Amino acid sequence: MSHDHGSDCSAATPSDTPRVERRTERHHKDRQRALDLLFEADQRARAGERIDVLTLLGRRIAGQDGLKPMRDYAATIVEGVTEHAGRIDEIIAANSHGWTLDRMPAVDRSILRIGVWEILWNPDVPDANAVKGAVDLAADLSTDDSPAFVNGLLGQVQRLAPSLRDAADPAEDDAHAAEHPEPASTADPRDDEATGAAQE
């Protein structure tokens, strides 16, 4: 898997600036909407409730819970984080020195999941934008120490991103194996027996 996340899609000209700012603001709002849902699902699961994130997302998209329907990019974030949840948590745990996932503030945990997904699995968002977006969420919604913590951890993920992207994703490996099973052997076991008898 190989993505070029090094720079934005195109260099912004002065006439592009308002459009870029609007897109940045849209993405910030979408990240926040995705964070709200992921945080809710995380808290309900930790309280012992059996919760299906994608079912919750479907209700939110349809506006069935009385809240404003989820926009496309917010839904894409939730779907991506859910699809790669195991691998994302492994990466966070491996780079959060001195902190376990359970010890992190719950909001930070969800913010980091969004940031890791954007860095490693969304080629349309430059790495630096993904880190900044996560830091902005932490500044708006979490503790005073959270922006620096989020920035440090995601900065490390950004530096490791090329090797992390090249590493096999277990979920993708399982899906590939299911779609492309190894062909069954057509060898006749009697051939081995015959060979052994001839050698004797």
- Cα 67 to Cα 4, 85, 155, 190, distances in angstroms: 36, 25, 34, 67
For the stretch 5-56, pLDDT in tens is: 554 444 445 555 565 566 678 889 999 999 999 999 999 998 999 889 999 9
CA-derived radius of gyration, the chain: 22
Closest CA to 81 of 122, 29, 30: 122
Distance of CA 167 to the CA centre of its chain: 15
pLDDT score recorded for residue 68: 66
pLDDT score recorded for residue 14: 55
Closest CA to 165 of 45, 5, 34: 5
First and final C-alpha spacing in the chain: 51
Q: CA 150, CA 96: separation in Å to the nearest integer?
A: 9
Q: pLDDT higher for 152 or 199?
A: 152
pLDDT score recorded for residue 25: 80
For the stretch 139-193, pLDDT in tens is: 999 999 999 999 999 999 999 999 999 884 555 545 444 444 444 444 454 444 4
pLDDT score recorded for residue 5: 55
Question: Which DSSP state fits 2?
Answer: -
**Domains in the chain, CATH or no CATH each:** 14-172 (1.10.940.10)
42 with 92: CB under 8 angstroms? no
**Which tokens hold the place of 64?**
């069935």
Residue 87 above 50 pLDDT? yes
> What is the sign, positive or negative, of the torsion defined by CA atoms of 137, 139, 145, 149?
positive
For the stretch 48-82, pLDDT in tens is: 998 899 999 988 887 766 566 667 899 999 999 99
